[in-house]
Amino acid sequence: MNILDIIEKKRDKKELTKEEIQYFVNGYVKEEIADYQMSALVMAIYLNGMTKKEITDLTIEMANSGEILDLSRLGKIIVDKHSTGGVGDKVSICLLPLVASLGVPVAKMSGRGLGFTGGTVDKMQSIPGYKTDIDINSFVENVENIGISMISQTMNLAPADKKLYALRDSISCVESIPLIASSIMSKKIASGAEKIVLDVTVGNGAFMKNIDDAKKLANEMIEIGKLANRETVCVLTNMDEPLGYAVGNNLEVIEAISFLKGIMPEDLKQVVLELGSYMIKLSGICADLEENKRKILENINNGKAFNKFVEMVKNQNGDISYLENIEKFEKAKYIEPIIAQNDGYIHEINAEEVGKVACNLGAGRVKKEDSIDYTVGIVFNKKVADKVKNGDILGYIHANDLERLKIAKEKMKDIIVIENSVKEQTKTIFGICK
Ligand code: URA
């Protein structure tokens, strides 16, 4: 077998066999296949798609490219959560300590920023000292001892996805149903999840731009879950405007801390409640979704969710004084207001463009080896449908570079659309697939 024949076959829209998929996954992990050859193959998959059988074979091979974690010693049902990506998506940081505080064990392997979307690992690393790259034994021990651990993708869990994820990001091959489905499900299978709740985002700030594509992606992942004996529930959520108010690494952590202390933007609250209620249900603790939502709100109000977050950060070496006093987080050099240019109602805050602006300010990577700036981004004061007046402050741009700040300010004029007519509030939850 050789990689050129495999690239040619996919380029010519033919179905790859299980052996061919095994060959390129293993060859890439062992560095026997070069990045440029893998790039050609990934682009061919992106353009020509994959059959259901190919997607399942790819997922299983990627999961088997490293260790498959066995969490049975915890003696509880392990329910994992993942998002297909978004702008301002700090859901994991709010949700996971919350469900852990209700007895759902959380063993979460998160990703870095991808394309114009942010990544939970980058956000968590903006807490000084917090270690995301712990070994697998410490990861399992943490879950055993305090019920929660959030880490980055270690080299031993789905290493094929780790390499492919970074490669796809650097060659504009992210928005592909076969590649996203196999990426997410291989990680979830490798990290020992028995049940999986997925946030499938839809809109301009998501990789799936419309509900039909989001449903296709959801159904693909549900089917892989069935074949791998992992019950999977997908919640379709709106990503046309950024989730919550903050976009950027430490800015989002600050918003998540406030959320856990009870200051909850409505859209973020709805997503957390919906995903959380399913996580608790699948864990076998309580099947009543409304009761689960009530319990989640109770643990925000009584401080148990915030305390669990503090416990997790402390356990992974993070400086918890930042959580107690958010003023300690480093701030960007320039914090400039975004001013409304006219009276009216906000019709649009284009999430994809906001994500790109945040990336350009330094919050994300352009090349896979780029370092990121934890302090930059945008914090809005308003949401779509809000009424505003000419001269109102719509939010603040946080920047460390005057040239980049100038570009961001210019872009914001087109990103936030204000019109005279009243704008209806948009839905946050579009539906459930299971
Ligand atoms: N999240 C992932 O883990 N993989 C993708 O491909 C997209 C979002």
Q: Is 184 in the pocket of ligand 1 (CB under 6 A)?
A: yes
Task: Kindly report the number of other CB atoms within 10 A of residue 145's CB atom.
Answer: 11
392 pLDDT tier (thresholds 50, 70, 90)? very high
The pLDDT tens digits for 62-89 are 999 999 998 888 889 999 999 999 999 9
pLDDT value at 434 more than 90:
yes
Nearest residue CA, atom 1 of ligand 1?
84
pTM for this structure? 0.94
- pLDDT reported for residue 368: 66
Please write the tens of the pLDDT for every residue from 207-239. Answer: 999 999 999 999 999 999 999 999 999 999 999
Taking the C-alpha atoms of residue 136 and residue 124, their distance in angstroms, rounded to an integer, is 18
Nearest to 92 by CA among 80, 102, 74: 80
Ligand 1 pocket check: which of 84, 117, 122 to mutate, most ligand atoms within 8 Å of Cβ?
Answer: 84
Rounded to the nearest whole angstrom, what is the distance from the C-alpha of residue 420 to the centroid of ligand 1?
Answer: 38
The response to whether residue 119 sits with its C-beta less than 6 Å from ligand 1 reads no
Higher pLDDT, 117 or 132: 132
pLDDT for res 113: 78
Encoded tokens for 21: 């998929």
Contact 275, 289 (CB under 8 A): no
141-176 pLDDT, tens digit per residue, is 999 999 999 999 876 889 999 999 889 988 999 999
- Indicate whether residue 84 lines ligand 1 (CB < 6 A): yes
pLDDT of res. 232: 98
| Residue 111, pLDDT score | 79
What is the per-residue pLDDT across 328-359, written as a single tens digit (0 to 9) for each? 999 999 999 999 999 999 999 999 999 999 99
Mean pLDDT of the chain: 95
Which pLDDT score, from 0 to 100, does residue 299 have? Answer: 98
Looking at residue 72, its pLDDT comes to 87
Per-residue pLDDT at 371 exceeds 90: no
Q: Which residues are catalytic?
A: 82, 161, 168, 183, 187
Residues with Cβ within 8 Å of residue 46, at least 6 apart in sequence: 173, 176, 179
For ligand 1, atom 3, name the residue with the nearest CA.
184
Could you tell me where the DSSP H helices lie in 228-361? Answer: 249-260, 266-282, 289-301, 304-315, 321-324, 351-358
Average pLDDT over residues 277-301: 98
> Which atom of ligand 1 is the closest one to the Cα of 207?
7
Ligand 1, atom 8, residue with closest C-alpha: 84
Ligand 1 centre to CA of 110 (Å) is 10
Ligand 1 atom nearest the C-alpha of 85 is: 8
